[in-house]
């Protein structure tokens, strides 16, 4: 039976009774196949899997969608059950179950947290690390699963975990897309049919830059294409080629690059990326 736990003290009781390898899948809920792919992998690699469902206030900025973020706990639990009917679901009733008294962001993501998404959402990654650190403390996993959909987040969490939780292994999972190519996201629910079609522009742009890099191995040309795409369409909040290693801009075509983009569709900012291995 999938077990739903909503308080810290109940969770501690459940956690104490677990032994063996523990897989953690942290989410904000409104689950789709992207999230479930992480749970599938965790289920196959661990004795127990814990899914957390928590819309973390400290990673939302002023004017962002914290209040309106889709909360669909019942259907989420049904989805989890279908993948793993023994999974433990920790959905804290209030932020205090995770943060104790002070619901604050108190970990800095440093320089890498200020670029790209961090530039659009100041303090966002500090909030992400603040919650991830607490989730690791509470759940004590052997492995934790994150999607490459949030590429910068995955990098920041991997670095942080290496330094602060060296016993936890971070597993980065491929992006799950709709048939159209659109990366699955809970925020796609905000889009109308027309906006969903329009949102494909992001994946198409990333794919075009990828093709140029793969076929021509010409960084300057790929960057010029990006410049044109951004000039033609001001809905790109950014579109950028970076090194996979530390997300800095590459000086020349390196083996492992990633093209990252953020695209504005109405009030919704959509995020996507494609890794390019030029080997």
Catalytic residue of the set 32, 35, 48, 124: 35
Among 5, 11, 15, 35, binds ligand AMP (CB under 6 A): 35
161 binds ligand AMP (CB under 6 A): no
DSSP code string of 129-191: HHHHHHHHHHH--SEEEEEGGGHHHHHHHHHHHHHH-TTPEEEEEPPPB-TTSPBP-GGGGG-
Among 184, 200, 230, 253, binds ligand AMP (CB under 6 A): 184
Among 50, 183, 265, 276, binds ligand AMP (CB under 6 A): 183
Helix (H, G, I), strand (E, B) or coil at 128: helix
139 binds ligand AMP (CB under 6 A): no
On the CB side of 139, how many CA atoms lie within 13 Å of its CA? 30
Residues 6+ apart with CB under 8 A from 56: 28, 95, 98, 127, 128, 131
Among 5, 28, 170, 222, binds ligand AMP (CB under 6 A): 28
Closest CA to 271 of 173, 147, 130, 98: 147
199 binds ligand AMP (CB under 6 A): no
Where does this chain touch ligand AMP (CB under 6 A) — which range of 4-12, 29-37, 83-91, 224-232?
29-37
84 binds ligand AMP (CB under 6 A): no
263 binds ligand AMP (CB under 6 A): no
For the annotated catalytic residues, the residue numbers are 35
């Amino acid at each position: 039976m999938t077990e739903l736990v909503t308080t810290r003290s109940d969770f501690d009781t459940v956690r104490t009774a677990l032994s063996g390898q523990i897989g953690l899948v942290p989410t904000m809920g409104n689950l789709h196949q992207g999230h479930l792919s992480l749970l599938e992998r965790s289920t196959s690699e661990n004795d127990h899997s814990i899914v957390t469902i928590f819309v973390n206030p400290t990673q939302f900025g002023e004017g962002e969608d914290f209040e309106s973020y889709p909360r669909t706990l019942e259907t989420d639990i049904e989805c989890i059950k279908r993948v793993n009917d023994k999974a433990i679901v920790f959905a804290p009733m209030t932020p205090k179950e995770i943060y104790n008294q002070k619901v604050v962001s108190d970990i800095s993501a440093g320089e890498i947290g200020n670029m790209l998404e961090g530039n659009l959402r100041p303090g966002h990654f500090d909030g992400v690390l603040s919650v991830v650190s607490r989730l690791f403390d509470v759940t004590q996993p052997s492995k934790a699963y994150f999607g490459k959909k949030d590429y910068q987040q995955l990098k920041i969490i991997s670095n942080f975990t290496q330094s602060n939780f060296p016993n936890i292994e971070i597993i980065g999972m491929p992006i799950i897309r709709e048939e159209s190519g659109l990366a699955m996201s809970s925020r796609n629910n905000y889009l109308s049919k027309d906006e969903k079609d329009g949102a494909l522009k992001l994946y198409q742009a990333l794919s075009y830059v990828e093709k140029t890099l793969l076929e021509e191995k010409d960084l300057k040309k790929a960057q010029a294409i990006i410049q044109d795409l951004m000039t033609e369409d001001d809905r790109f909040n950014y579109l950028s080629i970076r090194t996979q290693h530390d997300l800095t801009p590459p000086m020349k075509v390196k083996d492992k690059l990633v093209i990252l983009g953020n695209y504005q569709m109405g009030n919704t900012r959509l995020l996507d990326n494609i890794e390019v291995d030029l080997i």
